[in-house]
Amino acid sequence: MSPAFISAQPDQPAAPAAATRGAASARDRHAKVWPKRLPRSITPPATSLWHNLAVSALRFPDKPALVFFDQVLSYAELLQQAERLAATLHRLGVRKGDRVLLNLQNCPQWVIAHFAILRADAVVVPVNPMNRAEELKHYITNPDVKVAITAADLAPELVKASDKLAPEERLTQLIVTHYSDAFDDAAAQAEGASAIPTAWRDWLLTRYALPELQGGAVLSWAEALDPDGAGSRDLPAHSATPQDLAVLPYTSGTTGLPKGCMHTHASIMHNAVGSCLWGNSTFENVVLSVVPMFHITGMVSVLHAAIYGSATLVIMPRWERELAGRLISRWRVTHWTNIPTMVIDLLASPNFARFDLSSLVYIGGGGAAMPQAVAQRLWEQYGLRFAEGYGLTETAAPSHSNPPDATKQQCLGVPFISTDARVIDPLSLEEMPQGEQGEIVMCGPQNFSGYWKQPTATEAAFIELDGKRFFRSGDLGHVDEEGYFFLTDRLKRMINASGFKVWPAEVEALMFRHPAIQEACIISVKDAYRGETVKAVVVLRADARGRMTEEDIINWCKDNMAAYKYPRVVQFVEALPKSGSGKVMWRVLQEGENGSD
């Protein structure tokens, strides 16, 4: 079987008979669940990502493009500021194809800078703002960055990273913004202003002295925006094409240094357009932007999809449940892409009854499975079906997603628009029968071009099937009778307990059913008898702390799971380690356990 979603094009050769039969079988299975309102494949605009902003600003100049703590930036203002910053980048020597580092929390300046880099025909290198100097050195040297844009509170680490490098490798230009640069001065400084909750005031309004950069110059945001607009007259015409490199996000990787994923304007454009169609978008969408913009999901499925669709982006710098509840209620948010842990946290707020979520028409996300009990609560209280999806940095976020019209819980969904995805034997590369586990591979226009400066890794990441280039995800899963994909786990995360294969994601999903468990992460521990055994690192709900014991959890798991699968060890913690995008960092827990042996 071959769950292919790419419709035949006139210039494509006819498929071999066997492949044709497989593809037809897949289409028959998906016919019942594929939204009738959607085509199987799309032809995105043959323009650069910059044109999406230009078109939205032309159509809706006065419409709110960005909202930041009740401060509003219109589409016309966003376009103007991006063009002015692009002119400054050109003046600083940025030319077509040059990489520019972007290191900020979610804020209007992130959006302005992102589109300014694209307007300058350059390439965005988005960086996790949690990175420290030693980590940042790689993001300067590997993509050969000379110009960076960062926040004042993050600038010291970036400067430290640059200063530690050889003179020829260092940054030459640094543009620094304060988060308060996004605010009107009077509104920002007014004590008790509604725009800024008390808990956020100090962080948002603190001003820092600009750092000194060895061998380079530092510009303030105000200087970089060129308020008189004089530099804009010297900005060359935009010339980037769909085939040009647009973004170079880095993978977190399981070993070695992170690798840059080369994405063109075309690969990002496809999933931006596809995400709009998938989520029933209209020009009146109000989108909560809390998934980090440096992360591929926040950048593509949220930011670029919203700008393409002329939506309003309500921006949160980072996750905080009380602020999220307030913003959804205040701005009547309609679409919210998230990490399931965010939904779990919001529903657990003691102030939840005060929030009005009635405006939401679409809620979904990925990074972890949504616990069935939480998904059921969303449906019963709000009529919302949580649409889980799946994708990687290499696939520009969605390669799979649940149709909002026909969702399945604990499921990746079906292959996304224009995407052919399959499950294969990782060794023989033969396609696996329905229901049997194998490696998920995918082929589609959203796939990256390859790893930056890593031809060997690029070659290893792709295989050819039926004359098409498929990306190897490294994730294990299976397909059901309707063509929905289910994730079993990462290839390297399997626990081998006395020869029985234990998949942590499955155990975690089962543990979420316990009413006292808020979060759980499964790792392996060494066992003299079984070789490896299962350990659960658990965060209890507030009302269960002090009354629930580790033994209670083990006994419950024993009663609810197969004997080889249930955790023999339980450890209570206050919180699980999470990445900047909100994913549970199971490797940190696993490495900590291995180091304690």
Locate the domains of the chain by residue range: 1-31+419-492, 72-264, 494-595
State residue 499's pLDDT score: 57
Q: At what angle do helices 155-163 and 133-141 cross, to 10 degrees?
A: 60
Q: Half-sphere exposure of 1 toward its Cβ, with a 13 Å CA cutoff?
A: 22
Query: Environment class of residue 130 by beta-carbon count within 10 Å: exposed (0-12), middle (13-18) or buried (19+)?
Result: middle
Print the SS3 string covering 557-595: HHHHCCCCCCCCEEEECCCCCECCCCCECHHHHHHHHHH
Q: Which pair of structure tokens corresponds to residue 589?
A: 């827990």
Angle at 87 between CA 86 and CA 90, to 5 degrees: 90
Specify the amino acid at residue 90.
H
**Topology of the domain comprising 1-31+419-492:** Luciferase; domain 3 (2.30.38)
Of the candidates 567, 556, 574, the residue with the CA atom closest to the CA atom of residue 507? 567
Specify the amino acid at residue 322.
E
- Which CATH code is given to the segment(s) 494-595? 3.30.300.30
Q: Does domain 72-264 correspond to CATH entry 3.10.450.50?
A: no
178 in Cβ contact with 207 (< 8 Å): yes
Element of type H or E holding 112: helix 108-119
- Mean pLDDT per block of 10 residues along the chain (597 residues) reads 31 36 47 86 97 98 96 97 96 97 97 98 94 88 98 96 96 97 69 69 91 96 84 86 97 68 98 96 97 94 98 96 95 94 90 94 86 88 91 94 89 95 93 93 98 95 96 92 86 68 78 92 84 92 94 91 87 91 85 77
Element of type H or E holding 522: strand 517-527
State residue 498's pLDDT score: 63
Q: Rg of the chain over CA atoms, in angstroms?
A: 24
Of the candidates 279, 274, 277, 299, the residue with the CA atom closest to the CA atom of residue 289? 299
Tell me, yes or no, if the pTM score tops 0.75: yes
- For CA atoms 318, 319, 323, 327, the dihedral sign is positive
410 in Cβ contact with 509 (< 8 Å): yes
440 in Cβ contact with 421 (< 8 Å): yes
Kindly give, in sequence order, each residue whose CB lies less than 8 Å from that of residue 466, ignoring residues fewer than 6 positions away. Answer: 2, 15, 16, 19
430 in Cβ contact with 465 (< 8 Å): no
State residue 254's pLDDT score: 43
